[in-house]
Amino acid sequence: MNEMNITTDGITALPAATQEALEKVKIAKAAWLSARQKQNEAGTTAATIRTRRDETEAEVKAMNEEWRTLFRESKGSMSPRMKKLRIEIALGRETLEEFESLLSAHEFETETLPWTTADLANAYVNAHEALITVHSRYVWSQFMASHGDALLNALSMRMYEMRCLHASGMEGINDASTMFNKFINKEIIAKAKSWTPSAEGDALLKESGMYPTSPAHNDIHSAPNPIARFKREKQRDRILQERAQ
């Protein structure tokens, strides 16, 4: 049986609530990635427009410099070449204005794409966190069902040891309960906090990852804060209303 079948079978064996949470993650992630692609395509289009505008601007500048040179050399006499240059320069300047208008319109139309991407990235992150919450509780319940008695027995023995060793200890300093808590913190809690969860042998984590895809957080933080976004939305509404009049 190949790894894909093992992963699929492992997920199928999970509780319905976990499978439902996983499906929500997949849907949310797909929506976020789709929005991200649209945003990237819009950015590529804007970059292309800017490149073409810069090329046109360079051509107009070169023609203008050529015209000035010819003007000085001819002492102001207008040659056919100079007349042609003046027409091309005028057309070039009009083209630059059209480029600015085109770029401005494109930027206005696509301005909210990063907002949508951020919203969907946030939905994906939240869905992933919900999945891990459900799954972690399932993993814990499975572990306790299989090894809970042995774990509790081992810990109760250590507690008994502490009672024997620290029966005369001062409360809150080195009494049996305090020393047992220190043992738990050192041997379990501290290690658990520094431990990196592994997806090895976990079909669900291999499918979803332990953490959301990192660019999702970048997309969330790159969007304007709620206040700035609200103000800009109001500005956009006014602009659209003015255009409709």
- Domain residue limits, the chain: 3-244
CA distance 185 to 170: 19
Q: The whole model's pTM is what? A: 0.82
CA distance 212 to 125: 6
How far does Cα 165 stand from its chain's mean position?
53
CA distance 121 to 115: 10
pLDDT per residue, tens digit, the chain (245 aa), is 455 555 677 888 899 999 999 999 999 999 999 999 999 999 999 999 999 999 999 999 999 999 999 999 999 999 999 999 999 999 999 999 999 999 999 999 999 999 999 999 999 999 999 999 999 999 999 999 999 999 999 999 999 999 998 988 788 888 999 999 999 999 999 999 999 888 888 999 999 999 999 999 999 999 999 999 999 999 999 999 988 88
Q: How many CB atoms lie within 10 A of CB 174?
A: 14
